[in-house]
Every structure is written in structure tokens, then in C-alpha cells.
Amino acid sequence: MSAAEGPLVVGVDTSTQSTKVLVVDAATGAVVASGQAPHTVSAGAGRESDPRQWWDALREALHQCGDAAREAAAVSIGGQQHGLVTLDERGEPVRPALLWNDVRSAPQARRLTEELGGAKFWAERTGSVPAASFTVTKWAWLAENEPESLRATKAVRLPHDYLTERLTGEGTTDRGDASGTGWWASGTESYDAEILAHVGLDPALLPRVVRPGEVAGTVRDSHDLPFAKGTLVAPGTGDNAAAALGLGLRPGTPVLSLGTSGTVYAVARRRPTDPTGTVAGFADAHGDWLPLACTLNCTLAVDRVAALLGLDREAVEPTAHLTLLPYLDGERTPNLPNASGVLHGLRHDTTAGQLLQAAYDGAVHSLLGALDLVLDEDADRSAPLLLIGGGARGTAWQQTVRRLSGRPVQVPEAKELVALGAAAQAAGLLTGEDPAAVARRWNTARGPVLDAVERDEAALTRIAGVLSDASPLLERSTNAH
């Protein structure tokens, strides 16, 4: 490890399938050590993980960082949003956590929306219309399907909250992650008593919402991680808010994140309230807002198509007739939680490479369809799209986004932006700076800009037409469940 110019901080990204750790020089943003360890997700009817695996993975990832982690002056944890962690009186998980991409609570999402004033009520009260990914719907599902689990639950947490609490011994969360639960009122920035009462959740079971820049706690004695007792712990936040911090985002700059799920978001000054439910009106981690649209099917769906075809993920060929809606895990945007994929235009002369390109096109079309709703009227719609996430460095992803958006694309060189954003949050505790300003000082968004190309209007029209024609079938599939 080279000598650091400033104190060291640790940023953590506990994502769906692994936990990643960066040890960062708070003065320069240089990554001096890193580690990563996997955890498993159930492959049954739902998507679940044992939270204790996240702790074990954090311990292993920190161990890989060696002495650098022991020198950290502050730590912050970013994590997958929406997951429902239920703890008993000893702080142990009652059951595996229900993850964001578990769509079994789709019926509860529809019912809650109808029972409490409709989509407009929810959008104005919480900033978002309930979808199967949201925590409030998972709590309602648990109440209906596992009442014994509900009775045993003495604390309700989100994934990043769980790890932060094991570090500090205190139940805390932040406004960014709280805004994705469905029981946090974005107008008052507090838990919503009416919604909590409706779903039978005692607010005493919920963590305290720590304000941006506030210390969530300090590392306590009873742990098996390399941090010294008294190490500062930042509030942490959800993964998208952490990535926004990691990029040092200014209002109006659009981001496309290509991961297991795909997201489009931008920092906004005004509180979003979209009654269509396409845009989730999340808070960000430093006092503004993070309107966001999410698709369930992104890199994982395209990689699955590539595997079925026996192709490398870059082995695409142009197509002018084939359309694939890759809803392999249902879908969130559009809201079709139990839908399956749709293939249209297959011919004798269709090649495997064309089929793979159609999967890319279908995934990117879903994201771009929400972009105008995410951006407010003050946004510069000719500015480069920031392309991040696991797919961002893939040539096929880059070219598809350019062709279907007609906009320039910038690919930041920095990797692990969620963990970098968490590290910037930890550094902000030490310096008193806005974490986004810390990230801008670190120049995390630096990267090549790919010029705009002419937008492929024919492809966009073809995909939209197939989606419109298939909608009755997709709706029947959803309602059948």
C-alpha cells in the first residue's frame, strides 16, 4: 500500500449478489485497497438472502484489504434498496430477507394502492406509487403469508441498516434509503403514521432516520471486523443514492445504470410526485431528490439470452425486424410483475446475433422510455448520459444506448461507484464537506465521451408497437397470478 496523503475511509457496497469494500484516501480519492465476497440469493419462488451472509461477506472483503482497513477513520455502507429485514428480540433475522427483486408482493402492491386513496395519494404522500419491489408491499405480503414471522419481529430494517446497526449497536437509516420503503412521507420527511397503521407496523420497530452529514454512531466493541473501537460510522444510504454521491452528481445530469436491474435517475431540486408510478420519487443522500425509474431486466436478462444462444455477450448483429421484450423476471417499468418475455418478428433467416441485439434493444428501450419523466424541465437534454454499472463498459451496451438515445454517452473510469459514494460520505464526516463535493474533488466522473449518433427512430417505433400489441397478453399474464 502506498502512503496516503489524508486519513483513510472505507466505503461498502452490499449489493444483491456480493459485498464490495474500498479503502480510500480521503484527501485524493485514491483507492488503496479493495475486497469482494459473494453471497447467495435463493432460486425458489421468491428472491431471498440470509442477512448474516452479508456480514460474513463484509468481514471477508475487509480481510482482503489487509492493514489498510484497520487504519480507517470512518466507514459508510451503501446497499441494495427496498429489502425487508426482520429481526427478533436478540437482533437475529426472523427469516431470510425479502429482496427488492422478489415480486411475490405484486397483489399487495395493487391492493395497498387501491385501499389508501389510489396512485395520486401515494405519489403525493410518499413520492412513489407502491410496486412489488417496495418494502411496504413485502411487509403486507409477510402479514398475509407468514403471520408467525410478523409476531416474532421486533425490529424492521433495510439491508444497509442491518450492517450499520451491527457496527454501531444503534438502529439507524437515512432519508435516501427510507424513501424507498413506501412508509416514509417525502413531504414531511418522516414516517407516515397513516400508512404504518394501515399495514399494522409499529413505528417503534423502525430505525431512526439520520440526517445528511450526521454521525450514525461509532464502531462498538462486540464485532469481528478490523475497525478500531470508536471509528466513525456515517448514515450510509441506498445503492442508487450512493452511486449519485460517488459521481458527485449535479442537478439535471442523467445517469443510466446498467446492472442486474437497470435504472435511470438524476438529482433534482424539486420533490417528484409521479402518479403514473413510472418514476419513483426517492430522496438522495444529501438533501435533494433522486427521481428514478427502474427496470428489473437489464444485464442479467441479456446475459441469459446470450447463454441460451451460446454466444459471447458482444456477439450482436444488426436487426431491422426483430423485437424482444426481455421480461424474464416480470417487470417494474412497465409495471408487469408477472410478465414473461415476448419475441416478435422471428424468421428463417434470423441469426442468433440479431436475437441478442434485440434483447439489448428491448432492455435499453425500457430505460429510455422513462428518461423524459425523470428529467425536469430545467435539464439539458443534449448533455451526455452518464453510463455506469456492470454493463457500462460493454461495447454492445454502449452502442445500443447511443443508437436508441441519440445522445452522447460518457463512461466514467471510476469503478464501484456505490462503494465510492459511501466512501465520500464517510470522508464528508471527517472534513465537513458535502459528500458529492468530495466526489467532485476526487474527479470520479472523469471518463471518455462517445459522440452522439443519429437516433434509430425505426427501432424505437417497432419496439413500442410490439409492446402496445402485447400489452393485453402481458396484463392477462400478470392478473393470472
Residue with cell 457496497: 13
For residue 126, what is the enclosing H or E element?
helix 118-126
Considering only CA atoms, which of 195, 103, 200, 189 is closest in space to residue 147? Answer: 200
Residues 6+ apart with CB under 8 A from 164: 77, 172, 173, 216, 217, 233, 235, 236
Contact between 250 and 269 (Cβ < 8 Å): no
- Choosing from 13, 192, 239, 434, the catalytic residue is 239
Residue with cell 489487509: 66
What's the N-to-C CA distance of the chain in angstroms? Answer: 54
Residue 433: Cβ within 10 Å count: 17
Phi, psi of 320 (to 5 degrees): -115, 5
Is 50 a catalytic site residue? no
Longest pairwise C-alpha distance within the chain: 67
For residue 160, what is the enclosing H or E element?
helix 159-168
Length of the chain: 481
- Active-site annotation, residues: 239
